[in-house]
Amino acid sequence: MCELIDRYWNAGVHEGIIQGVAQGITQLLLCHGAIPEKLQERIQVEKNIDKLKNWIVLAAKAATIEEFEANMES
């Protein structure tokens, strides 16, 4: 029983971290204006934490939303 609780607890913690990083990206990008709906959705559905960590650095460094979006895949 404890193993089952641990598994769900860890999954919940992981999901919370992913949501928090995605929200951080969104907040950084909002400094540059409105975020296109398609981009907002792409950020929110991403579950790869390594990709999200890369994106938050990009969002912090980007001068515009367009610059961020252009560098998302690099």
CB contact at 8 A, 52 and 16: no
Query: Is residue 1 predicted with pLDDT exceeding 60?
Result: no
Average pLDDT (5-18) is 77
| Residue 63 and residue 31 in contact, taking contact as beta carbons nearer than 8 Å | no
What is the chain written as a DSSP string?
Answer: -HHHHHHHHHHHHHHHHHHHHHHHHHHHHHTTSPPPHHHHHHHHH---HHHHHHHHHHHHH-SSHHHHHHHTT-
- Average pLDDT in the chain: 91
pLDDT at 8 over 80: no
| Residue 51: both structure tokens together | 């990709």
pTM of the model: 0.85
